[in-house]
A = this chain, B = another copy of it.
Amino acid sequence: MASMKDVARMADVSISTVSRVISNTIPVDPGTRRRVERAIKSTGYKPNLMARGLRIKSANLVGMLVPEIRTTSFSTLIEFVEESVEALGYNLLLGGTGGDPDREERFFENLTRRHIDGIIVSLVSDRSHLMRLIDRTDVPVVIVDRPFDRKDLPTVVMDNFRAGQMAGEHLLSLGHEKFACVTGDRDITIVRARLDGFRDALGKSGIALDENAITEGHFQYESGVKGVDTLLDRGVKFTALWAQNDISAIGALNRLRERGYRVPGDISLMGLDNVDDSWMARPALTTIAQPYKEIAAAAAELLLKLSRKEDIEETRIVLQPSLVIRESTGPVSS
């Protein structure tokens, strides 16, 4: 592989001149520039990113950390983040933690040693061990999808309160009056926000959501299954069920039918996320769509602004959800 030296020799200039035409920041004589450019082309020279990185202390690399890579909501986010950073000329270093604090720690440490330009993080719980790592490190971090309670951390999220409202409003518009809800862990900020929004919408129609009609889960398939069992066993009467994410909604869907309920005939069901699983389900799931692509793009942009120390108007970006009506919700049966 050709180095700057080779190019310099070939164009009969010093290596600093080569560096200058590449960085294109300091004026270079047009004639010399042409010579250098030809030399670059003919040698196929590409700057060595490690050498440059060592010098300028930036690796042209952004990191992303998620609890699980193959969970659809995360893999969707990863896909769009990769797309966004690659479009901005960066590469993506991906890490999964499996919830293991040691792996989280190793990831942060390794990335720091690599002069990473920034890290995008998605979290499971507000209690996360990650908090300390984030506070301790001096590379920019932006939280996506599942932010902490803390307002001071750069964040890109969907408007979860609004999402809850939309779920409520849709169900209400179908004539439902008896509701139930399967939530995520209630110590997660967004879970509470979603629930508050849902209640807010119901409240405007004079309907209160009893604590009894809520079951707490973990955004997993099993959460939906168990949620339905719990609700039914408690004897809660409902014609509309909102599971706070699609995967748990699918669990609920399957369990509901196993227990003899038709969806949406007897019970209308909706989810949140709009991951691929939601349209593949039968009945196809009515859901609230997360603007994944926009979240990813905004996160990448925010992160890189942060790493360039540009001054930022707002480090907390909130994006709007949208309603996707499919087959799992319908008018209340009389």
- Shortest distance from the beta carbon of A283 to any chain B beta carbon, whole Å: 10
Which residues of A73-98 are within 8 A (CB) of B? 75-76, 78-79, 82-83, 86, 91-96, 98
Q: Is A13 an interface residue (CB 8 A)?
A: no
Which residue of chain B has its CB nearest to the CB of A90? Answer: B110
With contacts A72-B70, A86-B95, A277-B280 taken as known, whether A51 is within 8 angstroms of B54 at the C-beta atoms is yes
Name the B residues within 8 Å of A75 (CB-CB). Answer: 69-70, 72, 75, 78
- Secondary structure at the A interface, as helix, strand, loop or mixed, is helix
Give the residue of B49, B76, B98, B254 whose beta carbon is less than 8 angstroms from that of A114.
B49
- Shortest distance from the beta carbon of A99 to any chain B beta carbon, whole Å: 13
Q: Which of A94, A113, A247, A257 has the most CB of B within 10 A?
A: A94
Q: Is A9 an interface residue (CB 8 A)?
A: no
Give the residue of B69, B98, B280 whose beta carbon is less than 8 angstroms from that of A221.
B280
Given contacts A70-B79, A94-B94, 10 further A-B contacts (CB under 8 A): A46-B112, A48-B54, A49-B114, A50-B54, A70-B276, A83-B96, A86-B95, A91-B107, A254-B280, A254-B282
